[in-house]
């Protein structure tokens, strides 16, 4: 038996504890081949506790999953582990996939998995960690051995996610989107996105993975939902797919099948405003009938020019308003995602973002601070135009800090402004001349 410790960087101070669908999927695959898996979750487990347990278990391999913002902590844990025991460490997840060299340049990281980990980890373990495995990059006599991208799994063939490795509180985390606390169960039905928003890692991921959207069989999804409903106690499902409404035919098949299944549990998902309009109103009606209660969509900015030109989201304000109003008509709650703090953004632009949300009557709004993820088009733009505050600046939250030099606002002001918007929504506010001592107000 092999023991793989997966250390999950889940320490965002702004979020309730949550699971990682990716790690649950990896665990299911490893276990199906007879491997043992133990997960430590940095939300609960202090570093010292993790190290103590690793020393006791002496696993063959330690996997660390990290996004960009958590990577500093990921490197720290790797160092603490290596200080006490020399077990190979492999990094995986979105950030290592996009920045494998940066990860491998750290002396405590032995390998990096570029891409999806289900098959690659099984292969690596069956080759006793030594053979060449697609997607596994490693150090070799002072240089880096690059082995392309992991073979992308056929999602229809993957086993159901192994939820048992996560703590109970993370499996059914409680969130409040303005209609009281509700426990949510994360489940996935597809992977990937067809769009290329300039601030999002998905446009890059599809190039690295060399594949588009992949879907599970609808019947299998419904079967899994039935199983989870019997097994766990929670209020609603949440689909982690990037854009659940992308394929209308599939949404119809899902809704009809879900109604027939009698599961009758409310569900919500992520999508885009341009997926919802009068020409597909029948879908919204069907969603309501099948108990869709919440749709999360990005408005991102109220300035159409910024949205279309800089964010590469070809969606007009009118389309956005139409989408939110249609959801309201069918009593489906809406959650909107927005970013402020683009380098060239003015106070008027931020006012437009706020006002558009009010106009849309979004039931819950999330204002975060723009963060330029490495590898994205907007990151390259910020680097080229010298908009990054400092290369080494550390960020722990997209709500409390920014790495951007804004043309018209100071770092401090933009953070305050975000809080102000979040706190006041949906009240009418006028930002110009607001009492913050913002020197740039004319």
Residue ranges binding ligand SF4 (CB under 6 A) = 193, 195-197, 200, 202-203, 242-243, 272, 298
Interaction pattern, residues 134-173, with ligand B12; x per rule: CB under 6 A: ----------------------------------------
The Cα 442–Cα 430 span in angstroms is 14
Residue 248 interface partner, choices ligand SF4, ligand B12, none, CB cut-off 5-8 Å depending on type = none
Residues 362-391 that bind ligand B12 (CB under 6 A): 368, 373
How big is the CA angle at 242 (ends 123 and 204), to the nearest 5 degrees? 65
* 3-class state of residue 435 by DSSP: coil
* Cβ at position 244, least distance to ligand SF4 in Å: 11
| Binding partner of residue 117 among ligand SF4, ligand B12, none, CB cut-off 5 to 8 Å per kind | ligand B12
Q: End-to-end CA distance of the chain, in Å?
A: 68
Q: Which is nearer to ligand B12, 40 or 186 (CB)?
A: 186
Q: Does 243 help bind ligand B12 (rule: CB under 6 A)?
A: no
Of residues 296, 397, 305, the one with CA closest to residue 342: 305
| 117 touches ligand B12 (CB under 6 A) | yes
Nearer to ligand B12 among residue 266 and residue 285 (C-beta):
266
Element of type H or E holding 204: helix 202-209
Shorter beta-carbon distance to ligand SF4: residue 110 or 242: 242
- Nearest Cα residue to 108 out of 240, 7, 231, 234: 7
* Burial per residue of 181-200, b for 16 or more beta-carbon CB atoms within 10 angstroms, e otherwise: ebbbbbbbbbbbbebebbbb
CA torsion 18-137-206-385 (nearest 10°) is: 90
Q: What DSSP designation does 418 have?
A: H
Provide the minimum distance between the beta carbon of 309 and ligand SF4 in the complex, in angstroms, as a whole number.
Answer: 15
Is the CB of 189 or the CB of 408 nearer to ligand B12? 189
Contact status: 118 vs ligand B12 (CB under 6 A)? yes
- Cα–Cα distance for residue pair 300/131, rounded to 1 Å: 45
Q: What does the binding site for ligand B12 look like in residue numbers (CB under 6 A)?
A: 6, 10, 12, 15, 18-23, 25-26, 63-65, 67-69, 90, 92-95, 97, 113, 116-118, 121, 186, 188, 191, 200-202, 205, 240, 242, 368, 373, 398
């Amino acid at each position: 038996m092999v023991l793989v410790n997966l250390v999950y960087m889940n320490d965002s101070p702004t979020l309730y504890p949550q699971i990682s669908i990716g790690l649950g999927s990896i665990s299911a695959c490893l276990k199906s081949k007879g491997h043992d898996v133990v997960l430590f979750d940095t939300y609960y487990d202090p570093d010292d506790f993790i190290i103590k347990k690793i020393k006791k278990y002496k696993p063959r391999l330690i996997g660390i999953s990290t996004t960009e913002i958590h990577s500093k902590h990921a490197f720290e844990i790797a160092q603490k582990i290596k200080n006490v025991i020399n077990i190979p460490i492999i990094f995986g997840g979105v950030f290592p996939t996009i920045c494998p060299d940066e990860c491998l340049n750290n002396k405590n990281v032995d390998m990096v998995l570029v891409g999806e980990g289900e098959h690659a980890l099984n292969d690596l373990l069956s080759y006793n960690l030594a053979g060449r495995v697609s997607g596994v990059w490693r150090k070799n006599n002072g240089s880096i051995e690059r082995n392309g991208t992991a073979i992308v799994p056929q999602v229809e063939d993957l086993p159901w996610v192994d939820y048992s490795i996560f703590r109970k509180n993370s499996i059914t985390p409680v969130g409040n989107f303005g209609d009281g606390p509700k426990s949510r169960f994360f489940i996935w039905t597809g992977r990937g996105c067809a769009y290329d928003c300039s601030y999002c890692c998905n446009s890059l991921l599809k190039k690295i993975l060399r594949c588009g959207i992949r879907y599970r069989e609808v019947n299998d999804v419904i079967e899994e939902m039935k199983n989870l409903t019997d097994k766990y106690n929670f209020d609603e499902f949440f689909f982690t797919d990037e854009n659940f409404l992308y394929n209308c035919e599939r949404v119809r098949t899902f809704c009809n099948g879900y109604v027939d299944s009698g599961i009758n549990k409310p569900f919500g998902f992520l999508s885009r405003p341009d997926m919802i309009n009068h020409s597909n109103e029948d879908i919204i009606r069907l969603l309501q009938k099948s108990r869709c209660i919440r749709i999360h969509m990005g408005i991102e900015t109220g300035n159409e020019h910024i949205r279309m030109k800089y964010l590469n989201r070809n969606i007009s304000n009118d389309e956005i308003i139409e989408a939110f109003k249609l959801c309201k008509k069918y009593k489906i709650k809406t959650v909107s995602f927005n970013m402020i703090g683009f380098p060239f953004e003015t106070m008027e632009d931020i006012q437009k973002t706020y006002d558009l949300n009010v106009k849309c009557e979004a039931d819950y709004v999330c204002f975060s601070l723009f963060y330029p993820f490495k590898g994205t088009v907007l990151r390259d733009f910020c680097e080229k135009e010298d908009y990054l505050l400092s290369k080494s600046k550390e960020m722990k939250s997209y709500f409390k800090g920014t790495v951007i030099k804004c043309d018209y606002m100071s770092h401090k002001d933009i953070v305050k402004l975000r809080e102000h918007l979040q706190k006041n929504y949906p009240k009418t506010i006028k930002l110009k001349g607001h009492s913050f001592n913002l020197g740039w107000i004319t």
